[in-house]
Amino acid sequence: MIDEALINRVTRELYSAALRKVPDDTKRALARAIEHETSDASKSILRLMLQSALAAESSDRFVCSDSGIPVYLLEIGGAARWQGDIKGAITRGFAQLVETIQPPLLKHVSNPLTNERGYAGKDIPSISVELVDGDHIDITCVPKALGSGRWTQIETFIAPSLADIESFVLDVVLKAGSQHCPPVIVGVGIGGTFDHAAKLATRATYRPIGSINPEPTLALMEERLTEAVNATGFGPMGTGGVTTALGVHVDYAFGHGYTPVAVCFNCWINRRAKARIFNDGRVERIE
């Protein structure tokens, strides 16, 4: 049986781990990017990024000072057996983490009505729940900093062509320019409703870099959009180069003829940590 104490512990561990470790797929993508970069300056910045990632990991420090907004995704298996207040366990787990984590977090969560700063508040930690198959609960933790997140855009088109959609993605990329700590992971959500498109774009950024989109139309779109985004030339840290995106990930849902298209970004450190909790209490770190 999965209980509150277990969820509470995993909540704390995942957040702390996500702040200190750049995911392996992202480190591999950075290493590949060094091979492709054409100037010494952009290669040096990518090397410095890898050096920072490895230093954080080996010395148990944060990669970035912005611990962001705590975001948790719960995927609950149909055969998972659990009891108690799971959402409450996450909220309390995060509050305990804030009290105990070393080094301490900065106050990055704001009340938008007063601009007062803290660590949590109404609806934050952000917790969303999906029902899936299996005898386990997966928890994904994404400390979402808005240095990259602020460049997100959504627009609703009238029966757009693929060309219209791709053109919009490029417009958003150009607007973000040098400022979102590139190379980024670009998430694109097409269709559904307003909130659904945003969710698709966000979740698309969680996909491992280099994984092939199962939808052939989108797999091709991802390939050509990655080439297009990298042709803009903003490069690592936005000071020039051929690596502005480590990947473009696209997902879609059926919808109305009025089609929302959402575009979002994760900065190069691409923080996420994921664990699977089995009914017997075993915990397996997936990412």
Partner 1 sequence: MAEPHLSLPVSRDQIRELRVGDTVFLSGEVTATGGLPAHKRMIACLDNQQALPVPVKDALLHLPTMMDERDGRFEVRYVNPTTSTRFASFMPRLIKEFDLRIVGGKGGLDAPCVEAMRDTGCVYVSLLGGGSPILSDAIEAVVQVGWLDLPSHFRLMRLSIRELGPLTVGIDAHGNSLFEQLSSRARERLPEIRRRLDERRESSLHPELK
The arrangement of strands across the sheet holding 258-266 comes to 153-158, 258-266, 184-191, 245-253
Least distance between partner 1 and beta carbon 59 (Å): 6
The rounded distance, in Å, linking the Cα atoms of 128 and 130 is: 7
Q: Which amino acid is at 238?
A: G
End-to-end CA distance of the chain: 23
The rounded distance, in Å, linking the Cα atoms of 261 and 144 is: 21
Least distance between partner 1 and beta carbon 224 (Å): 4
**Cβ proximity to partner 1, 124 vs 170, nearer residue:** 170
The rounded distance, in Å, linking the Cα atoms of 220 and 30 is: 22
**Cβ proximity to partner 1, 72 vs 268, nearer residue:** 268
**Cβ proximity to partner 1, 82 vs 252, nearer residue:** 252
Q: Compute the half-sphere exposure of residue 57: CA atoms within 13 Å on the CB side of its CA.
A: 13
Least distance between partner 1 and beta carbon 190 (Å): 14
The rounded distance, in Å, linking the Cα atoms of 184 and 271 is: 11
Contact 138, 286 (CB under 8 A): yes
**Cβ proximity to partner 1, 76 vs 141, nearer residue:** 141
Which residues make up the interface to partner 1 (CB under 8 A)?
Answer: 41, 44-45, 48-49, 51-53, 55-56, 59, 61-66, 103-104, 106-107, 117, 147, 162-163, 166-167, 170, 174, 177-181, 217, 220-221, 223-225, 227-228, 231-235, 237-240, 267-269
Residue 249, strand partner residues: 187
**Cβ proximity to partner 1, 5 vs 55, nearer residue:** 55
Least distance between partner 1 and beta carbon 109 (Å): 11
The rounded distance, in Å, linking the Cα atoms of 68 and 147 is: 9
- The label of the residue with tokens 């990930």 reads 249
Could you tell me which residues come within 8 angstroms of residue 259 by beta carbon, excluding any fewer than 6 positions away? 156, 157, 158, 159, 160, 190, 191
Least distance between partner 1 and beta carbon 269 (Å): 4
**Cβ proximity to partner 1, 45 vs 137, nearer residue:** 45
**Cβ proximity to partner 1, 107 vs 256, nearer residue:** 107
Least distance between partner 1 and beta carbon 150 (Å): 8
Identify the helix (H) or strand (E) that includes residue 278.
Answer: strand 273-278
Least distance between partner 1 and beta carbon 132 (Å): 31
